[in-house]
C-alpha cells in the first residue's frame, strides 16, 4: 500500500464550507438506517390504514365517525406520499447528500494536483508528466454499449465521463473508466440478476504508426482462423492478432521486443489492443457487484468520519493509477 498524506487533502480540512458538507454527510450516514426504518414504517402504516378503512365499509362494524377518521388519516398519509414522490422524482433525496459532497470534491479539491502527488510514488513517474483531471459535467448521460468497438467506447467516455489526460514519453495519453452498462438477465423463469459492464480504456496519440497500420487488433484469449501468427508459442497461446496474414505492418508492430514484453505481462486484466490513428488498450469488466466508480468519483456510502473521507479519496486515486499503470504496460511494449 502506498503511504499517503498529500498536502491538498490535509488543507481540505481547513475549508469551512467543505467541512460542513462532510459533517452533514457523516450525520446522514449515521442516521440513514433509521431513515430507512422510518420510511418502511410509514409505508407499512399507510397499507394497514388502507386495509382497515376498506374493511370498515365491508366487514368491520365501525361507527361513521371512526370511518371518517380513518379516511382522513389515509388521505393525510397519501398526501405525504404524493409530496415525497414529486420531490424525489426531480432529485432523489436519499442521494442528495452524496451529490453535494461529490460536487465539492470537484469544485474545492485540486484533483489534478492530487493525482500528480500520488503519481510521484510510482516507478513510472519519470515517463509521465502533466497529469490533468478532466471533469465532465454531463456525467448523467446514459451510456451505450458498443461491442468490439474500442474507438466508440473511448469517444463516448471522453464526451461523458471524467478522465485523466497526461503525457507518456511525450505522447498525449487519456485514461477513462466508463460508466457501467446495466443489463438484467434471467437466470430462470422466476429469478433475474443485474449485470454491470464497465470498460477501462486508455488511448495514446502517437505518430509511430500511420494510417497503414489501422485496424490491427491484439486480443487476449481469442482464436480466429485468419489471425496473424508470430514465432512465439507463448505469445500465440496468449493472444490473437486480427489482421491479414501477409500484413507486414503486423510484423513491424510485433517486434521481438514487443512480443517478449506482451507475453510476460502478468497482471493482464486488459483484453484488447487496437491500432487506429493511435493505440487503444481496453478491458471489459463484467460483474454483479458494482464497486469500480469512474475516475474521481468517491464511494461515500460508509463515510462516518473525516479520516474515512481522506482515506477513501486516497484509496480511489491509488486504484485509478494502478489500473492506468497496468494499461501502460501494453503501451510501453509497442512504442
pLDDT exceeds cutoff 80 at 91: no
* Per-residue pLDDT at 78 exceeds 70: yes
Question: If you average pLDDT over every residue of the chain, what do you get?
Answer: 79
Under the banding of pLDDT at 50, 70 and 90, the label for residue 88 is low
CA-based nearest residue to 131, from 82, 172, 99, 93? 172
**Is the CB of residue 245 less than 8 Å from the CB of residue 226?**
yes
CB of 219 within 8 A of CB of 271? yes
Phi, psi of 190 (to 5 degrees): -105, -25
**Lowest-pLDDT range of 31-45, 80-94, 152-166, 242-256:** 80-94
Percentage of residues of the chain with pLDDT beyond 90: 5
- Full DSSP string of 107-158: HHS-HHHHHHHHHTTSGGGGGEEEEEEE--TTTTSPP---TT-HHHHHHHHH
Cell of 63: 361507527
Average pLDDT over residues 48-63: 76
Mean pLDDT, residues 303-328: 86
Rounded Cα gap, residues 103 and 107, in angstroms = 6
> Residue 236 has what pLDDT?
83
- The pLDDT of residue 3 is 43
Question: Which range has the top average pLDDT, 30-34, 273-277, 302-306?
Answer: 273-277
Q: What's the farthest any 2 CA atoms get from each other in the chain?
A: 93
- Three-state secondary-structure class, residue 293: coil
Q: Which residue has the higher pLDDT, 233 or 247?
A: 233
DSSP 60: S
For the segment 293-317, the average pLDDT, to the nearest whole number, is 83
Q: Tell me what pLDDT residue 1 has.
A: 38
In contact, 315 and 2? CB cutoff 8 Å: no
Q: Is the pLDDT of residue 322 over 90?
A: no
pLDDT mean over 103-114: 78
Helix (H) or strand (E) holding 280: strand 279-287
Mean pLDDT of 275-291: 83
Lowest mean pLDDT among 80-94, 124-138, 156-170, 209-223: 80-94
Q: Residue 172: which pLDDT band, with cuts at 50, 70 and 90?
A: very high
Lowest mean pLDDT among 19-28, 96-105, 223-232: 223-232
Listed range (110-119, 215-224, 265-274) with the worst mean pLDDT: 215-224
Amino acid at each position: 500500500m502506498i503511504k499517503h498524506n498529500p498536502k491538498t487533502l490535509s488543507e481540505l480540512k481547513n475549508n469551512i464550507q467543505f467541512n460542513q458538507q462532510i459533517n452533514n454527510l457523516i450525520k446522514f450516514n449515521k442516521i440513514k438506517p433509521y431513515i430507512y426504518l422510518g420510511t418502511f414504517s410509514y409505508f407499512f402504516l399507510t397499507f394497514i390504514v388502507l386495509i382497515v378503512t376498506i374493511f370498515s365499509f365491508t366487514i368491520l362494524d365501525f361507527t361513521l365517525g371512526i370511518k371518517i377518521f380513518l379516511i382522513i388519516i389515509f388521505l393525510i398519509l397519501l398526501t405525504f406520499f404524493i409530496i415525497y414522490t414529486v420531490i424525489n422524482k426531480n432529485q432523489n433525496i436519499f442521494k442528495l447528500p452524496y451529490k453535494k459532497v461529490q460536487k465539492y470534491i470537484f469544485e474545492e479539491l485540486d484533483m489534478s494536483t492530487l493525482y500528480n502527488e500520488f503519481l510521484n510514488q510510482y516507478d513510472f513517474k519519470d515517463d509521465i508528466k502533466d497529469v490533468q483531471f478532466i471533469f465532465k459535467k454531463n456525467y448523467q448521460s446514459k451510456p451505450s454499449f458498443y461491442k468490439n468497438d474500442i474507438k466508440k467506447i473511448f469517444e463516448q467516455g471522453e464526451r461523458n465521463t471524467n478522465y485523466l489526460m497526461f503525457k507518456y514519453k511525450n505522447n498525449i495519453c487519456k485514461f477513462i473508466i466508463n460508466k457501467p452498462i446495466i443489463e438484467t438477465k434471467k437466470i430462470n423463469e422466476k429469478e433475474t440478476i443485474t449485470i454491470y459492464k464497465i470498460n477501462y480504456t486508455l488511448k495514446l496519440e502517437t505518430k509511430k504508426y500511420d494510417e497503414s497500420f489501422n485496424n490491427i487488433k491484439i486480443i487476449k484469449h481469442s482464436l480466429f482462423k485468419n489471425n496473424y501468427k508470430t514465432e512465439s508459442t507463448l505469445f500465440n497461446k496468449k493472444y490473437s492478432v486480427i489482421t491479414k496474414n501477409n500484413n507486414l505492418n503486423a510484423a513491424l508492430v510485433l517486434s521481438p521486443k514487443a512480443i517478449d514484453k506482451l507475453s510476460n505481462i502478468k497482471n493482464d486484466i486488459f483484453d484488447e489492443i487496437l491500432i487506429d490513428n493511435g493505440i487503444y488498450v481496453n478491458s471489459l469488466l463484467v460483474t454483479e457487484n458494482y464497486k469500480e466508480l469512474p475516475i474521481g468519483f468517491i464511494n461515500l456510502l460508509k463515510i462516518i468520519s473525516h479520516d474515512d473521507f481522506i482515506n477513501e479519496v486516497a484509496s480511489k486515486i491509488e486504484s485509478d493509477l494502478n489500473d492506468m499503470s497496468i494499461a501502460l504496460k501494453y503501451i510501453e511494449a509497442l512504442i
